[in-house]
Amino acid sequence: EASVWQNLHHPNILPFLGLTALDSVTYLVSPWMENGDLLAYVRKNPSTDCLKLLLQIARGVEYLHTFDPVVGHGDLKAANILISSTGDARIADFGLAHGLVEGGGSEDHSTAWEYGGNVRWQAPEIIGATTDEKARRTTKSDMFAFGRVITEVYTHEVPFAYQSATLVIVAWVTSGQLPTRPTDKAVIARGLNDQMWGLVKECCRKRPFLRLTAKEVVRKLQTALDIRDGGRRPSLFARAFSG
């Protein structure tokens, strides 16, 4: 974990401070994030700016995916995103992260499979893989997980929170089924509108090559934020998510 993390320096990546040993156990050291993880934070602060937080996370992912060598996080979820004292998002937990092998475009890079992560956030190509080679994590599987993070931010729940049976979730994910779209007025009021749900679907497409890249997501979210904060027409906000 330290071999990857120590080289990463970005406002939306949790800083790596070093290593320390205690009773023959080595610990990774980072700044204390007093606001805890993303899911706990949005639950305690229901009026938080969800769009701004998602843009910060997307920028962190874009940094990883454009790093040299490209870094795939491999376990992106709200529990692995911490919130600073200023309310800013910091991507953490690089235990499954690796520099991706060179060759081809950045979207072809992938990490070797490790048995970790959770099916609620994993892409169908990983869950349904029959060999290590087929189950290689990619930047595309990170983007699938980012789509799940969007739902966490707005619903304040993990993906498929209404289902406890892992095998059922596995069947849903491998078939391309999305979590049920919330109809709760509070969730919609937080910003999970038609456009944002469309972004979830574009990130969580079953076929990896059809998913948005981190760069594309950053562009869409930044445009939407600029339009919203500029007080421009709602129709322009919708247009930010098109194309």
Q: How many residues does the chain have?
A: 243
- Which class for 40: exposed (0-12), middle (13-18), buried (19 or more C-beta within 10 A)? middle
CB 238 within 8 A of CB 195: yes
Q: Residues of 93-128 as b/e, b for ≥16 C-beta within 10 angstroms?
A: bbbbbbbbeeeeebbebbbebeeebebbbbbbbbbe
Q: Tell me the chain's radius of gyration from C-alpha atoms.
A: 18
Taking phi over 0 as left and psi of -120 to 50 as alpha, with beta for the rest, 25 belongs to beta
Distances in Å between the Cα of 2 and the Cα atoms of 16, 92, 95 are 8, 12, 8
Distances in Å between the Cα of 18 and the Cα atoms of 2, 29, 98, 163, 207 are 8, 5, 18, 39, 39
**Residue 209 DSSP class:** G
Cβ neighbours of 165 (radius 10 Å): 9
Encoded amino acid at 194, one letter: D
Catalytic site residue from 23, 75, 93, 132:
75
Q: Is 75 a catalytic residue?
A: yes
Please give the distance of CA 161 from its chain centroid, rounded to a whole number.
17
Q: Which residues are marked as active site?
A: 75
